[in-house]
Amino acid sequence: MTAQASEWTTENAAWAHARPMLSVLIPTYRDDPVLLLAQLNREAVRAEVIVLDDGSGDADLALRIAEAVEAMRLPARFVRLTANEGRARGRNRLVGHARAERLLFLDADMAPDSETFLRAWLDLVDERDPAVAFGGFSLDQTPKKAEHALHRAMALKSDCLPAAERALAPEKHVFTSNLLVRRDVFDRIAFDEAFAGWGWEDVEWAMRVTQAYEIVHADIPASHLGLDAAPAMARKYEQSAVNFARVVAAHREVVETYPSYRAARLLKAVPLRNLWRPILKVVALAEGLPLGLRDLAMRTYRAALYAEAV
């Protein structure tokens, strides 16, 4: 990761004179957002779309994105970085290109679950003008593949929740996959660029936001198409342990209410962790074992990783 990447930009014909009410901000790192762009382009709303290629180094993908952006009816810009800056810094950079007072972060591997997805977000702005709102996500349009069975099971249990349930712990259920932020809020509270790798930068941001603003949970879902195979999930959890430690250090009084923290505290007291923790990973990755057992093993493996931070 570099301290500062240079960027190359291109816009479509509609960009120059647009006065958008909503800026849709789509970071991507080797995920193809072309389908998402086509879905957004079906709506006739006052929104602009900005895509950031965070240093993927994939020239073919960059060309497809540029062509899709140039063909859009909605005003759109494509920003391509020469080097990867990471999840937090990349999203902060996207905001610098946005012109609207309402920012909608939307991951490249998402698909709106409604043909009036952007309209629904603008309606929420008109009705409530929330400082921050999370629309939720589903797996309604996500293809069912055997290699993604574990991720699907875990996401359906923990992440694909209705707004009323998410609102019980508003900061915990905030992800940048489908997140509306008012610009004045983001100008005051941006993503912490000290986070590296995968995980927790969005929840930590939400913890800071809740100290000054209400987080609204809405049912404006989009499907997460980019499920991971179990080995990729394990690698992400391994990366996230350092970020979890940062969150614990800064927000222990919040994190200690989470089941993941309580499980990590319990496992910290179990001896010989370096011997039994790898066995949990083996069980989680074994596709021939019952899915419920693999789910339990992967969650316990994650907690065992986090035990180092508590």
CA distance 227 to 152: 7
CA 214 to CA 128: how far, in whole Å?
11
The span from the CA of 182 to the CA of 42, in Å, is 24
> Closest Cα to residue 52, out of 19, 102, 92?
92
- For residue 86, the model assigns a pLDDT of 86
User: What's the confidence (pLDDT) of residue 4?
Assistant: 59
* CB crowding 264-295: b at 16 or more within 10 Å, else e: beebeeeeeeeeebeebbebbbeeeeeeeebb
User: What pLDDT does 198 receive?
Assistant: 84
∠ Cα 80 85 87 (to 5°):
100
Q: What is the pLDDT of residues 14-42, one digit of tens each?
A: 999 999 999 999 999 989 999 999 999 99
The residue among 69 and 193 whose pLDDT is bigger is 69
For the stretch 21-30, what's the b/e string if a residue is b when 16 or more beta carbons lie within 10 angstroms of its beta carbon? Answer: bbbbbbbbbe
DSSP β-bridge partners for residue 134: 179, 217
User: Is the dihedral angle over the CA atoms 60, 54, 160, 164 positive or is it negative?
Assistant: negative
| Inter-axis angle of helices 149-158 and 291-306, nearest 10 | 70
Q: How confident is the model at residue 2 (pLDDT cuts 50, 70, 90)?
A: very low
Complete DSSP assignment for 81-114: ESS---HHHHHHHHHHH--SSEEEEE-TTEEESS
Q: Hey, what CATH class is 7-227 in? A: alpha beta
The answer on pLDDT for 309 being more than 90 is no
Q: What is the pLDDT of residues 186-233, one digit of tens each?
A: 999 999 988 877 889 999 999 999 999 999 999 999 999 999 999 999
Q: What is the pLDDT of residue 108?
A: 96
Mean pLDDT of 37-60: 95
Half-sphere exposure of 77 (CA within 13 A, CB side): 23
Q: For residue 23, list its beta bridge partners.
A: 48, 103
Q: What is the pLDDT of residue 3?
A: 45
Average confidence score pLDDT of the chain: 94
Where in the chain are the domains? 7-227, 232-309
Note if the pTM is more than 0.85. Answer: yes
Closest CA to 50 of 23, 20, 12, 72: 23
First to last CA, the chain: 27
